[in-house]
């Protein structure tokens, strides 16, 4: 058929296969969520319902891809850790990230409408997520990645907590509150909260301070590398896959930075 | 703040800036739409309502990005042509394709629910789109790209039209219909349609045979290249941008392969 | 054989096929040629013999690859323009650039030893070249690329001419000469040359002011694109190739920026 | 200066920074060395002098880059292992591979002319090397990489040994020798050597059977990762660097596949 005459245009396509035997980290990030949160009237500094929408949405993705070992999220972003042996779409980067972005945004609509039936998502302001993939050679990098995100969550949340206390309880304008906080350290912010508003930051809910971790908890996992994988019999691979499929997905709001989290979960390596 | 200690993990991120001064073609493609069409009971061989959902969805994207010159779609795929000077997200490939995938899938839900209020999208079967970007140096490649897609549309539609005639009017099983069509040429398929079912394929609706083109029609466009762009005054650039923003988006079901389409639309180059 | 057990390591290799139907520009660049020129006692500001070594070396590469349309060089760098249809090593970037670097440096040794039999290349200071490839969609980009390099040649040569006049004829220290030139315009430099040293820069040799162009001159070339190439008969392709092989390689020291050069050489497009 | 008008062409350049904290393997490979070996009259199946040229050449590169931990070579190829923390040229792939290719080929000329003063390299047949870089996350991959190359060396050498015995001692034509060996296993080849030519393959020189390993032997190395590197004081880094510079480069023809080689050299990890 005459199609062949035009098919040469396919030769311009490029693909990137993510490096084998490395962890894959896919991070999705809400586009313009500051405006999104205004449009749908998020409570400040934190809207627990909106956070639950994010967490439920991310849970749907963890369920859909047994290769996801764990996920961590906060505000309008979520990071998914895929195991080193992941062969999803032959590790094609474009395929992986566009599907994660698309699934995140469609499930978000559904979870939102369940959580907030009184204010469903409107087409004039949709939840749009971009996505990117990063490969990490070592578990150490993965741990530092999640530490990076959790420290970031803490910094943002402390700031937002003080900022909104100054605005809503201290009757400052947003501009004045912003200026008040320029150059302040964490200790200063804790002090403002305590002395001006009798808020002990330590008593704030863990979900706000720590963000949310989703873990595919399974016990009798045996780690295998790329090469061993190739040598497992089909039966063994099927069995391993079934175990991953059946593993329960558990939600925590806990510290990811200290050793304890990782030491007690050898199946994450 | 201690964050710096972990921030080195950002150095593992990679980005690809699409080659300057080339056309960018972004193609979105439905994931598993065969099952999707069964789940939501699409009419066969073509469901006009579902096609309109695709076309309306794509129109929302063309509206959102004035850099889109035109788009072409059929079944569960759509291709968007971005002008050579497009500087959206600094031409970062990952950003562009994940946003196109995410916007396509969320608008699809909204357009579907408007079109089919009696059977709204269910979370158990969501419209997911992957996306890819390809750069083309010359208008010739762009024309051949769209010709490739339109020939593909024709081949698929002729096949589907005969197949479903054999099944629903000819009372063949899908398996038998498939076997009947193995090795048949276009002329054979036309003949089956005409002699067995009194269907003249030429009289089938253009939207099925040709697919759908969306064009940002504007008249007094003056083409400028990368270098000239840099030399246009800010006022001129703003004016050019406004013209693009105001241009009407028009839908056609016409031939993209012959010269006429392109000769009469110099603003597409 | 047991090799298969280890062969999986090949899957970590990555290749980049340069975008089809674009011009390929390969630029080689001497590594540490400032020290190289001191080690082998180059005349200042320009060593005609060393320039001829570069030009002869580049000529060997143009002879070796009929896909090279032209080349331009100056000091320790050379740029080779490969035609858009070039299929050398399937346009694999790594292969192309490493071979250009390797061939440039080995031929340089040979050409140097012919030019300067009294001071052959010593292993303690070898001529090493790095190389890179860039793809350009349009002839306009190619023209601007060569203009960029030729303007750069002019700027460097004017500076070096004044600098060495100040040092060798004006008895300034290099440091003083450098300070004298800070902030001076081209017109100032011309003035210094003329008033202090009675040198009219315009009368300097063209090879220093303009650099060197190598052109594969052939007359009855007919341009064909990627697609037409595929449709040429084998006989025609062979004929075309032979013409390229037989075309004479001519050396010029002329202006590449004005239209005349390009208008009179349609085979360069 | 007017240069700015053309400098936009630089925006078309692309660079690839090799993934941090991974081993870098650079492999150089002779271009057309079959013809090269005929042109310079290599002894068959192995030319010890030519091998020594390769080994000396590779030693020059190991000396030049203290980041090279070890190298392995055979016939016309050599693989260089760079430590994970290597920051040479900011890990820019193009820069690294073109320099390796260029240095390999120029030093080869020099080493050859020392080894064979009676038949120096001629410009009509130069030693040209291509080069590529591969990143490996784990030491396990690095070990398997070298095992892959050493098994390959063994396979090639056994074949060549029998082939040339059949031709030069057995008076077969090359074509007949080739046919004789089709489908033969290693044991068959050993048997032919022994029964027909009284050659015990096990007694062949180790340099032919095992290839050549170059190791930068230093004892009191302490492994540090990317992150620790950043925290070492400048003094410590300088000290570490000096140790690498002073380490002796030792040549072996030994087994790389078994654990012993690696277990006794912890500084290779």
pLDDT in tens, D252-263: 999 999 999 999
Put simply, whether C19 touches B (Cβ < 8 Å) is yes
Put simply, whether B226 touches D (Cβ < 8 Å) is yes
Put simply, whether C206 touches B (Cβ < 8 Å) is no
The pLDDT value given to residue D249:
95
Instruction: For residue D21, give the nearest of A21, A141, A225 by CB distance.
Output: A141
Put simply, whether B130 touches A (Cβ < 8 Å) is yes
Contacts of D227 in chain A (CB under 8 A): 140, 144
CA distance D195 to chain C (A): 23
pLDDT digits (tens, 9 = 90+) for D152-210: 999 999 999 999 999 999 999 999 999 999 999 999 999 999 999 999 999 999 999 99
From residue C178, how far is each of B19, C41, C186, C234, D83 by CA, in Å? 39, 21, 15, 60, 41
Residue tagged 């500076």 (tokens): C159
DSSP 3-state of A137: coil
Whole-angstrom Cα distance, residue D181 to residue D183? 6
Whole-angstrom Cα distance, residue B38 to residue C200? 83
The pLDDT value given to residue C67:
96
Whole-angstrom Cα distance, residue C264 to residue D120? 44
Residue of D nearest to A135 (CA): D19
The strand order across the sheet containing A23-30 reads: A129-136, A23-30, A77-82, A68-74, A212-217, A248-252
Please enumerate, by residue number, every residue of A annotated as part of a binding site for GTP: 29-34
Span B240-255, mean pLDDT? 86
pLDDT digits (tens, 9 = 90+) for D48-102: 999 999 999 999 999 999 999 999 999 999 999 999 999 999 999 999 999 999 9
Whole-angstrom Cα distance, residue D142 to residue D154? 19
Contact A97 B94 (CB under 8 A): yes
Strand B23-30 with B212-217, pairing: unpaired
pLDDT digits (tens, 9 = 90+) for A226-260: 555 556 677 777 877 777 777 899 999 999 999 99
* Dihedral (Cα; C161, C166, C171, C175), 10-degree rounding: -100
Residue A35's pLDDT band, with cuts at 50, 70 and 90, is: very high
**Chain length of chain D:** 269
Residue of D nearest to C147 (CA): D6
Q: Angle between the C139-164 and C186-197 helix axes, to the nearest 10 degrees? A: 40
Q: Angle between the A93-115 and B93-115 helix axes, to the nearest 10 degrees? A: 40
Inform me whether the pLDDT recorded for D267 exceeds 90: no
DSSP states of A29-74: EESSHHHHHHHTT--SS--HHHHHHHHHHHHHHHHH-TTEEEEEEE
User: Is B263 annotated for ligand binding?
Assistant: no
Half-sphere exposure of B193 (CA within 13 A, CB side): 21
Residues with Cβ within 8 Å of residue C171, at least 6 apart in sequence? none
DSSP 3-state of C198: coil
Whole-angstrom Cα distance, residue B54 to residue B177? 28
Please enumerate, by residue number, every residue of A annotated as part of a binding site for Mg(2+): 29-30, 76
Hey, what domains does chain C have and what are their CATH numbers? 16-150+212-268 (3.30.70.3000)
D218-223 long-range contacts, CB within 8 A, separation 24+: D218/D243, D218/D244, D218/D246, D218/D247, D218/D248, D218/D267, D219/D267, D221/D266, D221/D267, D223/D266, D223/D267, D223/D269
B242 or C64: whose pLDDT is higher?
C64
The pLDDT value given to residue C1:
47
pLDDT digits (tens, 9 = 90+) for D93-148: 999 999 999 999 999 999 999 999 999 999 999 999 999 999 999 999 999 999 99
Whole-angstrom Cα distance, residue A142 to residue A135? 9
Q: Nearest 5°: phi and psi at B256? A: -105, -5
Whether the CB-CB separation of B252 and B258 falls below 8 Å is answered with no
Contacts of C21 in chain A (CB under 8 A): 12
pLDDT above 90 covers what percent of chain B? 86
Put simply, whether C6 touches A (Cβ < 8 Å) is no
Q: ipTM value, please give it.
A: 0.92
Contact A102 B102 (CB under 8 A): yes
The pLDDT value given to residue A241:
75
Put simply, whether D88 touches C (Cβ < 8 Å) is no
pLDDT digits (tens, 9 = 90+) for B216-232: 987 655 555 555 555 66
Whether the CB-CB separation of A81 and A30 falls below 8 Å is answered with no
Residue D70: strand pairing partners: D81, D215
Please enumerate, by residue number, every residue of C annotated as part of a binding site for GTP: 29-34
pLDDT above 90 covers what percent of chain D? 86
Instruction: For residue D8, give the nearest of B8, B19, B227 by CB distance.
Output: B227
CA distance D137 to chain A (A): 5
Instruction: For residue B138, give the nearest of C137, C140, C141 by CB distance.
Output: C137
Residue D229's pLDDT band, with cuts at 50, 70 and 90, is: low
Instruction: Output the six-digit token pair for B134.
Output: 């390809």
Whether the CB-CB separation of B249 and B143 falls below 8 Å is answered with no
Which chains neighbour B (Cβ–Cβ under 8 Å, 3 or more pairs)?
Answer: A, C, D
Instruction: Output the six-digit token pair for C106.
Output: 């080995």
Contact B9 A155 (CB under 8 A): no
The pLDDT value given to residue C222:
55
Half-sphere exposure of A146 (CA within 13 A, CB side): 30
Per-residue pLDDT of chain C (269 residues; tens, 9 = 90+): 456 799 999 999 999 999 999 999 999 999 999 999 999 999 999 999 999 999 999 999 999 999 999 999 999 999 999 999 999 999 999 999 999 999 999 999 999 999 999 999 999 999 999 999 999 999 999 999 999 999 999 999 999 999 999 999 999 999 999 999 999 999 999 999 999 999 999 999 999 999 999 999 876 555 555 555 556 677 777 877 777 777 899 999 999 999 999 999 988 87
């Amino acid at each position: 058929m005459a199609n062949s005459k035009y098919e040469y245009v396919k030769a311009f396509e490029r693909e990137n296969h993510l490096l084998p035997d490395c962890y894959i980290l896919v991070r999705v990030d809400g586009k313009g969520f500051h405006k999104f949160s205004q449009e749908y009237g998020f409570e400040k500094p934190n809207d627990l319902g909106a956070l639950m929408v994010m967490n439920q949405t991310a849970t749907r993705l963890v369920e859909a891809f047994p290769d996801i070992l764990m996920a961590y999220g906060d505000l309008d972003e979520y990071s998914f850790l895929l195991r080193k042996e992941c062969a999803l779409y032959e590790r094609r980067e474009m395929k992986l990230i566009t599907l994660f972005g698309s699934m995140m945004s469609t499930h978000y609509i559904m979870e939102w409408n369940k959580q907030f039936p009184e204010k469903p998502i409107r087409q004039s302001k949709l939840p749009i997520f971009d996505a990117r993939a990063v490969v990490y050679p070592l578990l150490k990098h993965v741990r530092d990645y999640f530490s990076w995100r959790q420290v970031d969550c803490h910094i943002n949340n402390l700031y937002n907590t003080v900022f909104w206390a100054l605005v809503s309880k201290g009757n400052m304008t947003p501009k004045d509150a912003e200026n008040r906080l320029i150059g302040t350290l964490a200790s200063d912010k804790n002090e403002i909260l305590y002395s001006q508003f009798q808020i002990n930051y330590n008593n704030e809910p863990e979900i706000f301070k720590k963000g949310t971790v989703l873990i595919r908890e399974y016990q009798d996992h045996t780690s295998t590398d790329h090469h061993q994988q190739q040598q497992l019999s089909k039966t063994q691979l099927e069995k391993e896959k079934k175990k991953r499929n059946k593993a329960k997905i558990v939600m925590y709001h806990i510290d990811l930075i200290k050793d304890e989290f990782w030491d007690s979960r050898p199946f994450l390596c």
